[in-house]
Chain A
Amino acid sequence: MKRPFIAVLTIAFALAAIVAAQTRRGSRTNKPATQNRPARGTPAKYSAFLHSSDKHKSLACNDCHKIPTVWNAKRDFPDVADFPGHDACVRCHRPQFFSRPAMSGTGPVICTVCHLRAAPREAARFAFGKPNAGDQSAKPKDERQFTIEFPHDKHQNVIARLQSPRLDPGLLRVSFTPAPDEKRADYNNCTICHRRNDELLSAQPLPAQDDQFRKFFKTVPRSHDACFACHWKNQKPINNDCGGCHKTASTFVPVLMPKRISAKFSHEGGKGEHVMECTTCHINITRAASVRGLTPDVPIAACTTCHKDNKKTTYPKVVTIEEEFAQYKTTNACAYCHAPDVGSKKPPASHEAAAQ
């Protein structure tokens, strides 16, 4: 009688262990991988610069970063456009540059923090933030050590005001399709920061697999130009207060695009002109106090403003959510907005509610 009892216990524990392992695996968030940083005291230590080291933390940003750098050679606006000069490093790290051990092998490894190679006459440097030239190499790994602190709601308070499209009072154009050069209505000045993404195509080459993001997403400010337009001087945080926006992050924070649910949606035309104001669909965007965790989610209910009733005399006729439901029943796919990875799944309850 003892044996079956032990067997029962063993199996029960095994099952419990499997369940626990499965759930733990499921709940594990996709934490960004921490940087593989060399151990302290090793020669390789000086190949990676850490803003978070005690010594570096004790310095002011502009002890090393001179603002502006030789900006007119690098950017068309005053900027922190390059790595600090040699003096910023050498004044503390002389042994790491000039000692015999440092000079042995391929050269002082500390040089590779900024330079492509550790060689005396090596002038080529990695791109510092935005590349200064098209052929400038980016660092082999993203060594981002900061997150950006950006109160989105405060910026909307001051920026998001009505700017009606300026119309020529003498002419009233009557047409179903907009002229190619016709300026789109700029309802709330979101376009001060978020533009059509094709404007930055050449400046921001993306891998081919990221083409879909390029196609659908609006841009976000990626240079100091957008910030300095207001925060160059007087309006805090100003140009020499790097920490006003750049907050040190202990872990590597990769730049992630929000997951696209409606991969076939296009802000700019596509199957139809989405001409509504940004906040008509991005209903929570004026609420967000930070960009951290800010996802531009659009609830299906927002789509019902137009995609609920196609009896209106609009042209071209809109596809309704109800029609898509009918389509799903015959083909098992919602293909108007979604790619197969999402469109082949059962529509959620929110979609049914929106269609009613």
Chain B
Amino acid sequence: MSVNSTRTAFFSAIFIGGLLTLSFAGHTQTPPAPRGVIRLKVRYKSADGTKELVRKRFFLIKGSLDENKALADAIKQTTLISRECYYRSKGASERLIKWLDDNDCESVYCRAIEERELIGPDAVPEFKSAYDLALRQLKTPEVARRWLPNYLPADLRDGYYNLKQRTIEGLLKQAGALSAKPLMSIMTDRKGTAYLTDIEPGTYTISNLVPSESDKSEILWLCEREVKAGDLSIAMRRPFILSNENDPKVKCEVIVRRLPVCN
């Protein structure tokens, strides 16, 4: 074999090897499709001024408001009893209604029940009865207090929360049937902010699906947002503000209703 042919073979091998490596790397390292982020900022104007909507869940649904018209109509037609009216209808005491209202709770699981809520002027009668029952079975006062929700009647424990969830699930099923993509949901923080990350660019409907109670009214948002590829730092600079005030730049349908007076 001549020196020339050996050299040719060597360089050919390197060339082919290089091609193979490049094609393999190209095949395995396909750049990920660009994604988008929405920084949601939800606020509402009330008699006391503008406030952030705290700890409410919002849902992201693929498609514009027009594309989701059937769902939007269903959302608008859905009625849900207010928290206060629900608990009053179940015979809850004024103390329990206040306890729920003070912390914007939909169920008694919302926060730990403290000792002062069992005895003394702040005591909630339902909690006291459940505590007595729990103590008889569990023997230990501390465990009885912590496990007290197990001994409350179902309606007063989480009846309203379950009712609301059933309504949301019904609407989500409808949304799922209409939209090819899975839904995403996120809860606003104490500043009314929430991030919807890793979204495929496109047009989306953003809604709380059932009206959120705030002070003396309930607010339903049905908004549309076009998501472009971009990272979190861009989204942080340009929040998508949902408000109950008219904003011509935002395509939103906001329905505000006064909370009913409960009998």
Interface residues of A (CB under 8 A from B): 1, 3-5, 7-8, 11-12, 15-16, 19-20, 23, 27, 72, 76-78, 153, 156-163, 187-189, 192, 225, 228-235, 277, 279-280, 283-284, 286-287, 299, 301, 304, 350, 353-354, 356
Contacts and interface: CB of A to CB of B under 8 A. Distances in A.
Interface string B136-163: 0011101100110111001001100100
For the side of the interface on B, what is the size category? 35 or more
A3 to B, nearest CB: 5
Given A158-B110, A234-B157, A16 B20 contact: yes
A235 B157 contact: yes
B6 interface: yes
B74 interface: no
A223 B189 CA distance: 28
A71 to B, nearest CB: 10
B263 interface: no
Contact of A8 (B13, B55, B57, B233): B13
Contacts of A162: 54-55, 103-104, 190
A77 B187 contact: no
A156 B193 CA distance: 16
Nearest to A356: B233
B97 interface: no
A3 B10 CA distance: 12
A15 B20 contact: yes
A263 B54 CA distance: 31
**Interface SS of chain A:** helix
Contacts of B104: 161-162
Contacts, number: 150
B9 interface: yes
| Residue of B24, B55, B193 contacting most chain A CB atoms (<10 Å) | B55
Given A160-B187, A286-B194, A301 B236 contact: yes
Contacts of B232: 283, 299, 301, 350, 354
Given A4-B5, A77-B138, A283-B195, A188 B16 contact: no
The 3 closest A-B pairs by CB, nearest first: A15-B17, A11-B13, A4-B9
Interface string B224-255: 00000001111010000000000000000000
B257 to A, nearest CB: 22
B8 interface: yes
Given A162-B103, A192-B111, A235-B149, A77 B140 contact: yes
Given A7-B9, A163-B111, A301-B232, A284 B195 contact: yes
A238 to B, nearest CB: 9
Contacts of B10: 11
Interface in B90-146: 103-107, 109-112, 138-140, 142-143, 146
